[in-house]
Amino acid sequence: MQIGIGLPNTLDADRETLLTWAERAEDGPFTSLGVFDRLVYRSTDPLATLAACIGYTEDIQLVTSIVAGPLRNDALLAKRAATVDRLSGGRLTLGLALGARPEDYEAAGVNFDGRGRRFSKQLNSLRESWEDDEIGPEPAREGGPHLLVGGDSDPTFNRVGRYADGYIHGGGPPRAFERKAEQARAAWAESGRPGDPDLWGHGYFALGEDAAERGREYLLDYYAFTGPFAEKIADSLLTTPQEVLQFVRGYADAGCDELLLFPTVADDDQYDRLETLIETEWR
């Protein structure tokens, strides 16, 4: 299993922090850089953020985990993703899911209802744009960026089997990931797709007592729209090296291919702590 680090792009981080983290991650133990997507929030745009990182990095994978697909116009999304893929030399992994926040849809002027059906069509149309020549640019990789689909429902796994290159899990303990990974593998096998689906996971960290409290507050705020469930998410925050390692090992055992660890506090100190931990204890 490889480990990626999330950029603090929903944490109101300044230019300096975002780009330094990206630059350092390139040299550190991390194999990918993740970003979140949220419209009505003090966050930066996921694909634009990754585009900014292109010039500061060489090899590291650039990952959206995740972008709310149906919030966006298919052709525009296809073009932006192809652009990032091309300019980064084929480093984009496009993680897509439905997006669960009605206010984001409202702000974008897009219907919240029926987004599942639109999402399936969108996945097909993204593939089409990347393979055909009408909408440029031609992505760096044949067939377009690596495509991951996230979510929990049976239609999600249908989409993974039908359109994606893999599955990206929405977070939770390793046992929860394991069950979903099994479903993704079964969907893949049943759809008759060659090879195996890529399996990605993600978790939240805030190392140190002070950070833990702030991280918790952030998660409660970020997930406020889920009601009491926000508490559960906040409770799963990894706040000690021990917790992080147990989590990482659990995911590795469950067959995860790449695990993204997202910060909940945008301090350089958080980057340092995670880097040291992963470098010394995991590799």
Contact set with another protein (CB under 8 A): 120-121, 123-124, 127-128, 131-132, 143-144, 154-155, 157-158, 161-165, 173, 175-176, 179, 182-187, 189-195, 228-229, 231-232, 235-236
188, 197 Cβ separation under 8 angstroms: yes
* Measured distance CA(8)–CA(65) in Å, rounded: 12
State the number of CA atoms in the 13 A half-sphere of 215 facing the CB: 26
φ, ψ (nearest 5 deg) of residue 32 = -150, 160
CB-wise, 175 or 283, nearer to another protein? 175
Residue 77 CB, nearest approach to another protein (Å): 16
Residue 196 CB, nearest approach to another protein (Å): 9
CB-wise, 164 or 266, nearer to another protein? 164
CB-wise, 91 or 216, nearer to another protein? 216
Residue 101 CB, nearest approach to another protein (Å): 19
Residue 125 CB, nearest approach to another protein (Å): 9
* Measured distance CA(181)–CA(110) in Å, rounded: 31
Residue 96 CB, nearest approach to another protein (Å): 13
Who's near 232: CB < 8 A, 6+ residues apart?
none
* Measured distance CA(62)–CA(43) in Å, rounded: 17
274, 208 Cβ separation under 8 angstroms: no
* Measured distance CA(277)–CA(98) in Å, rounded: 33
Residue 247 CB, nearest approach to another protein (Å): 13
At 247 the three-state DSSP class reads: helix
Joined tokens for residue 22:
């990206």
Q: List, in sequence order, every beta strand (DSSP E) within 89-161.
A: 92-97, 146-150
Joined tokens for residue 103:
């206010």
Residue 197 CB, nearest approach to another protein (Å): 11
CB-wise, 59 or 154, nearer to another protein? 154
CB-wise, 23 or 231, nearer to another protein? 231
CB-wise, 24 or 79, nearer to another protein? 79
CB-wise, 4 or 144, nearer to another protein? 144
229, 170 Cβ separation under 8 angstroms: no
